[in-house]
Amino acid sequence: MRIRPLVFALAVVLASQSLVAATFVVPNDREMVRRADAVAVATVLSQYTRVTDDDSIETVTTMSLEETIKGLVTASATTFEVHEPGGVVGDRTLIIPGVPRFTPGQRLILFLTKTPQDTWAVTDLVLDQVV
C-alpha cells in the first residue's frame, strides 16, 4: 500500500522536470511605437535565405507596404525588405528562438528598427502582430 504514494510522488517530480515556461514583458503600445524607427502595415510577399558577409544566415522577407504609421519605411517603392537572423541555406540551419517567421499572404503590423547595415529588422522579437 505504501508504494502508491511513492509512485505518485515520483511521477510528480518527473513531470515537473519537463515543464518549461517563458515570460515576456510586453511593453504597452506607446512604448513599442517609441522604440521603433518605423511602424507599418504590410503584407508578406516572398522570402529567401542567404549567407551574410559575416558567414551567418539570414532570412530576407519582401513586404508590400500598405500604410506607414510612423517613420519612412521606403521613399518611393511600395515594397521593402525585412532582414532577420536564421534560416536554412543548403545543409546549414540557424534557428534563433523568438525570431519571427513570416508566411506569404500574412498581413502584419510591423515595429521596425533600422540596422547598422541599413536594413530593416523587427524591433522586438516575438512581439509583432498579425492583423
Taking only the tens place, the pLDDT of each residue in 21-44 is: 555 566 777 888 888 999 999 999
Taking only the tens place, the pLDDT of each residue in 78-131 is: 999 999 999 999 999 999 888 888 999 999 999 999 998 889 999 876 544 444
Taking only the tens place, the pLDDT of each residue in 43-55 is: 999 999 999 999 9
pTM equals 0.73
Beta bridge partners of 111: 39
Q: What is the CATH number of domain 26-130?
A: 2.40.50.120
Asked if residues 42 and 63 have their Cβ atoms less than 8 Å apart, the reply is yes
Taking only the tens place, the pLDDT of each residue in 71-91 is: 988 877 899 999 999 999 999
Beta-carbon contacts of 57 under 8 Å, excluding residues fewer than 6 positions away, are 49, 50, 51, 85, 86, 87, 88, 89, 92, 93, 94
Measured CA to CA, the distance from residue 55 to residue 63 in angstroms comes to 25
Q: Give the residue extent of every domain in the chain.
A: 26-130
